[in-house]
Amino acid sequence: MEIGTTLTRFIIEQQRNYPAATGEFTNLLIELTKAGKIIAREVNKAGLAETMGLTGHTNVHGEEVQKLDAFANATIIKATDHTGHLAGVVSEEMRGIHQIPDPLLRGDYVLVADPVDGSSNIDVNVSIGTIFSIYRRRRKDGAAQLEDFLRKGSEQLCAGYIIYGSSTMLVYTTGQGVHGFTLDPTIGEFLLSHEGIAMPPRGRIYSVNESYYNRWDVGVQRYVDYVKEENEAAGRPYSARYIGSLVADFHRNMLKGGIFLYPGEVNAPQGKLRLVYEAAPLAFIAQQAGGAASTGQQAILDMQAEELHQRVPLIIGSADDVEEAEAFFQGRRS
């Protein structure tokens, strides 16, 4: 499709590829992108308005909630709860399921989101992001249930992220490739800028918080040693890039190729990142762009979620790099 096509038009055109589609899902996605625009507006004026700093509360993970976290969470719910298409929402900022309240109509889908990923970067003007994903719920009636959210990533219908960077971009997939849209602030529309994003099969960038090196398993240590080895013919050493915002590190690797790692530690094998609303959505996007995502032992998309806020080790990026890292993690290479 032509560069500059509006996101709304693109989504509607894509719906034509599903003859049985009712338009509900399309409508939900469009409302969600509106939330993205509102959050982008707040992010852009964060230094001027009262949106920087802490709310004084801690979230379910014991982390201090930034004002922008709370604002973004409320914005996503407000933009989508009246559509009649959602039964419930789960996010990093809420302990349990947010049920769509009466008298609003409930629908066939559930939404999961990390409203502001990379919160520690808000106050210092470094890129942050929003991650989201949509599943069809298991039962058609009644309140949303845990089982609607505790799924395998391979069951996702749609996943996307919005990166609030030098420009605001929305990148999403509905299982028909990955497409990127840049927000034109002068008209307030996301316009098609990156159709059919293909992640290079191998990159030359590794992205990991290396200060944890001494806490890692030997397989992880050996892999990181390996990418730093001098071997010009093989394109090593890789360059190190670590923003500390998952969405921003992932987005760079989507476009340039590379690998992002947040492995488990010997004393904390599950790592830090969350399966349901961080790892699984990005894994779906990576897969659709030709990349891969793994725990080091298992494909992220094959993991059955057992808890809403479950943590998982995440190795994600260019397919050849992820495969190579797995070989080190599993002790097949050293």
Residues found near ligand FBP in the complex (CB under 6 A): 63, 92, 114, 117-120, 209, 244-246, 272
**Which of 178, 184, 191 has the alpha carbon at shortest distance from 250?**
178
How many Cβ atoms from other residues are within 10 Å of residue 210's Cβ?
13
Length of the chain as a residue count: 334
Q: How far is the CB of 129 from ligand FBP (least distance, A)?
A: 8
Q: Is 5 within 8 Å of 151 (Cβ atoms)? A: no
Shorter beta-carbon distance to ligand FBP: residue 244 or 290: 244
Q: Is the peptide bond before 237 cis (omega within 30 degrees of 0)?
A: yes
Q: Is 308 within 8 Å of 277 (Cβ atoms)? A: no
Shorter beta-carbon distance to ligand FBP: residue 197 or 208: 208
Q: How far is the CB of 73 from ligand FBP (least distance, A)?
A: 12
Q: How far is the CB of 97 from ligand FBP (least distance, A)?
A: 19
Q: Is 112 within 8 Å of 149 (Cβ atoms)? A: yes
Q: How far is the CB of 275 from ligand FBP (least distance, A)?
A: 13
Shorter beta-carbon distance to ligand FBP: residue 251 or 272: 272
Q: Is the peptide bond before 19 cis (omega within 30 degrees of 0)?
A: no
Shorter beta-carbon distance to ligand FBP: residue 192 or 254: 254
Q: How far is the CB of 209 from ligand FBP (least distance, A)?
A: 3
**Which of 156, 177, 172, 136 has the alpha carbon at shortest distance from 33?**
172
Q: How far is the CB of 208 from ligand FBP (least distance, A)?
A: 8
What SS3 state is found at 64? strand
Q: How far is the CB of 230 from ligand FBP (least distance, A)?
A: 26
Cα–Cα distance list, 216 to 194, 220, 223, 224, 313 (Å): 36, 6, 11, 10, 12
> What whole-number distance in Å separates Cα of residue 67 and Cα of residue 320?
39
Shorter beta-carbon distance to ligand FBP: residue 169 or 246: 246
Shorter beta-carbon distance to ligand FBP: residue 120 or 297: 120
Phi, psi of 234 (to 5 degrees): -95, 5
Phi, psi of 174 (to 5 degrees): -120, 25
Shorter beta-carbon distance to ligand FBP: residue 119 or 182: 119
> What whole-number distance in Å separates Cα of residue 124 and Cα of residue 52?
10
Shorter beta-carbon distance to ligand FBP: residue 118 or 291: 118
Q: Is 96 within 8 Å of 123 (Cβ atoms)? A: no
Q: How far is the CB of 91 from ligand FBP (least distance, A)?
A: 11
